Chains A and B, each alone.
Chain A
Amino acid sequence: MSTHAEIETTRRHPLLAFLARWLLTTNHKEIGTLYLWLSFTLFFIAGALAMLIRLELFQPGIQFTEPNFYNQLVTLHGLVMVFGAVMPAFVGLANWMIPLMIGAPDMALPRLNNFSFWILPFAFALLLSSPFIEGGAPNFGWTFYAPLSTTYGPPSTDFFIFGVHLMGISSVLGSINIIVTVFNLRAPGMTLMKMPLFVWTWLITAFLLIMVMPVLAGLVTMMLTDRHFGTSFFSASGGGDPVLFQHIFWFFGHPEVYIMILPSFGIASEIIPTFARKKLFGYHSMVYATASIAFLSFIVWGHHMFTTGMPLFGELFFMYATMLIAVPTGVKVFNWVATMWRGSITLETPMLFAVGFVVLFSIGGFSGLMLALVPADFQYHDTFFVVAHFHYVLYPGAIFGTMAAVYYWLPKWTGHMYDERLGKLHFWSALIAVNLTFFPMHFSGLAGMPRRIVDYSLQFADFNMVSSIGAGMLGLTQVLFLYIVIKTIRGGEKASDQVWEGAEGLEWTVPSPAPLHTFETPPLFQQRDQADNEGGVPI
């Protein structure tokens, strides 16, 4: 395909050739790799910020930061984790795996794919340069409520606004690409209701993204005009409305949190059947549950705003709608359990992470249910109980999900098996550290510790110290993960094409490592007995 370009580039200086290869690549696997490395890098940066946060909170009193700097740490940590670590990781996985899973030669719009990746380093360069600007980095939390971020925002807010615009463009383009690919490039015979669940969850995620990223873009644009062009959308003294900001933000923000979890649902639905050696219990109900979660995610945004003076009717509506989400989420969890039930289970690292995901994510789901109860939320809101809640859904949810996916597909990507002993060590230490870090936050929150505070009163000291120790451990376990990944890339036991005994799906029919170009002719689906004789793919 791109042989012409390849020959061209190899004649040049090796460094130039290297740059040209990665800058100009339109290959879904290479772009997937780029996304994954970018996400990994940003995960470490945002993680380092979290380490600073936890160091500051180790004891009461101000240790080494300064209150405004602390707010900057929290803001950048949240923003970079959400937009830099989680979202690009999922897009990377989608790039690598969706064409392989639906038997497509590449993404439908390869140049667009290149563009949507290469926007991101610039977006994050903008965001991460903000601490060095006079006035410091954004300091208003990842939710950037007006008027703290408009009238009172530091000059770097404009960098943030432009950065968010770039990320939004990248996400929308990426999502369009995924939708077009799934609708148009499925191999003949791969009907929608035969698609692997990872593809399904991503398809739905992509729709969520193209619906809400423009809302976010609109919001930051309104901020920009409020800051510089004399409008007062969010300024009460100019006739605007600060609460309007929150409605728009959470209309984006709530679907956004599902954007960060649905692909993980898909990953768990791939991995659990493989290692239980048993078909997914309810494929159809899983698809419908995902779709209903996505739909409901648009009508629950108000549950972030119960204390803003919402009228009773609004509070009741958003409470009931939020509680309703527990039903399809329960369906998913029960399905995973039923899939394992009476299977023939082995616990390789991807399975450990997937089971860890199911259990710990459920804890986050339970606390979410508690948060939905408006009267109780009056006590929980904006305390560390909420911080505990969303880290239980994000860390074990988005991050464990991604790690499970990496261990699961790394042999396919690199052609090498990772070190199983180290993988297990990684899982168990991460499991302990995650709980040590985030479980005590439930208690400090219930005892009354507000979130986003640089210093706290003495009764919260014990739990914070435990959290900080856990966070240090958690940081170390991620270094171990980096080591395992690099070790696997550089060598290791040769992986078979099938890799996992119980794995089913097109990605396992291509060689390990997957060659740069796959499915240049679509795979042939056949009934199982016919496939066994004629070498087609059983369906």
Chain B
Amino acid sequence: MTAISSYLSAGLKNAGVFSALWLCAHSAFALEWDMREGVTDMSQRIQTLHQLSLGICIVLSIIVFGTIFYTLFAHHRSRRSKAADFHENTLVELIWTVIPILILVGMAIPATSTLIDIEDNSDADLTVLITASQWKWHYHYVEADFGFYSNLSTPQAQIDNLEPKDENYLLEVDKPLVLPTHKKVRFLTTSKDVIHSWWVPDFAVKQDAIPGYINEAWTRVGQSGVYRGQCTELCGKGHAFMPVVVEVKPEAEFDSWIEQQRLAIALASETAVADRNKTWSMAELLPRGEEVFLEHCATCHQPGGLGQAGRYPALAGSPITTGAIEKHIDRVMNGKADTEMQAWAPQLSDLDLAAVMTYERNAWGNNTADLIQPLTVYLTR
């Protein structure tokens, strides 16, 4: 009797597990329990592979465990007082060796083809060097040649249970990595101290960052959005606190973001600070101003400052370059809407702007003797 009740409970439990699985799979509530589909071709192929192998495993376990529970029930002592006497059957043993091999081959084929595509790191549009250190990520845009650190931004008080935790608790950073949509982005990972691992589940990219090594991975994201992941290799006490956040933007937005970043970084650099704290003399500013002018302005305004009739105004003797300084600064820094005269503030440093304007006010007979200091430019920004 107890035996029967134990079969029943075993059977029920088995049924329970599977129906729970099934329920989870089809329930509407938002509990995350399965591998994410993600937002890249690769993450979707991996998820399909995962579901295939999971499905095979569930079917096999229903068969194997079903047989076990059946035999515990049907071949119990209370039903069969005498055991059959059979053992060693070559055919049976051959069958249960060959069938699993076939199933394995069936799983290995899609796994291999997906893997080969994942490992194809060629022809990237953009490269980001990811350098890990305890316990933050540094992202360097190789082509644009600038970079920044990305740190956890969850306040300690939330971790210590002193404040309510917000939605992205432990998955938020001060500065996310920004990527463009539809571009093949190559990640190079390395580390300055111990081993870390950079993981974004929605891209299905997980690559160890190992000191002395530069590892490669790539992604191509179809959809803009914010994607979150974590460091997945134990790296010391801050291991739980080095999240990965990636913001994916449409290409145009991404490009202007890159420009902003480069400038912001230039402005923040030590030399920029030193430059703007110094009072410059005419003799220092003029040659530099000429250089900047020739590099950036002369294509339109011409080296001699005479412009092109009807298209580009002459700067020699122009009311702006010889008139009120504020107006001049405004025109150069902010440009003029709907004309080819663009805003130069986001593109040039304080010093270069000061130099080029000083040059304009004193070259080609514009002998205003006005000196514009980088600090003035900085304060106008």
Which A residues are within 8 Å of any B CB, using their own CB? 60-63, 66-68, 71, 139-141, 145, 147-148, 151-152, 236-237, 240-243, 276-285, 307-309, 312, 315-316, 319-320, 323-324, 326-327, 330-331, 333-334, 337-347, 352, 355, 358-359, 362-363, 366-367, 369-370, 373-376, 378-379, 381-383, 424, 428, 431-432, 435, 439, 443, 446-448, 450-459, 462-463
Contact = CB atoms under 8 A, between A and B. Distances in A.
Nearest to A373: B111
A320 B75 contact: no
Contacts of B238: 67
Given A281-B88, A323-B107, A458-B167, A370 B68 contact: no
B3 A346 contact: yes
A236 B211 contact: yes
A50 to B, nearest CB: 17
Contacts of B92: 338
Nearest to A72: B237
Interface string B217-256: 0000000000001111111111111000000000000000
Given A331-B97, A342-B83, A450-B239, 20 more contacts: A63-B161, A145-B233, A148-B236, A152-B236, A276-B83, A280-B87, A285-B93, A309-B208, A312-B119, A337-B67, A339-B87, A344-B80, A355-B68, A379-B46, A383-B232, A435-B17, A447-B33, A450-B231, A454-B240, A457-B170
Interface stretch (B194-202, B268-276, B361-369): B194-202
Contacts of B235: 148
Contacts of B236: 68, 71, 139, 148, 152
B144 interface: no
A205 B362 CA distance: 89
A141 B194 CA distance: 13
A61 B97 contact: no
Closest 5 pairs (CB-CB, A-B): A236-B212, A309-B215, A453-B240, A366-B57, A342-B84
A450 B87 CA distance: 46
Contacts of A285: 88, 93
B61 A457 contact: no
Nearest to B118: A375
B63 to A, nearest CB: 10
B49 A376 contact: yes
Contacts of B71: 337, 340-343, 345
Contacts of A346: 3, 76-77
Interface string B1-37: 0110010010001000100000010000001111110
B193 A152 contact: yes
Nearest to A420: B2
A320 B159 contact: no
B239 to A, nearest CB: 6
A374 B114 CA distance: 9
B108 interface: yes
Contacts of A450: 199, 230-232, 239-240
Contact of A282 (B6, B93, B161): B93
Contact of B206 (A280, A307, A340, A435): A307
A366 B60 contact: yes
Given A147-B194, A337-B71, A376-B53, A316 B210 contact: no
B72 interface: yes
A378 B34 CA distance: 15
A537 B68 CA distance: 33
21 contacts: A66-B237, A68-B237, A139-B236, A148-B195, A148-B236, A315-B119, A323-B108, A330-B100, A337-B71, A341-B84, A344-B82, A374-B115, A378-B46, A379-B43, A382-B232, A428-B9, A443-B34, A450-B199, A452-B239, A453-B240, A463-B33
B265 interface: no
B104 interface: yes
B204 interface: yes
Contacts of A242: 195, 210-213
Contact of B49 (A241, A375, A451, A462): A375
A306 B34 CA distance: 21
Interface in B30-67: 31-36, 42-43, 45-46, 49-50, 53-54, 57, 60-61, 64-65, 67
B111 A340 contact: no
B212 A341 contact: no
B82 to A, nearest CB: 6
A455 B240 contact: yes
A436 B2 CA distance: 24
A472 B229 CA distance: 30
Given A67-B238, A312-B119, A450-B232, A337 B64 contact: yes
Contacts of A330: 96-97, 100
B239 A370 contact: no
Contacts of B281: none
A323 B24 CA distance: 28
A278 B31 CA distance: 47
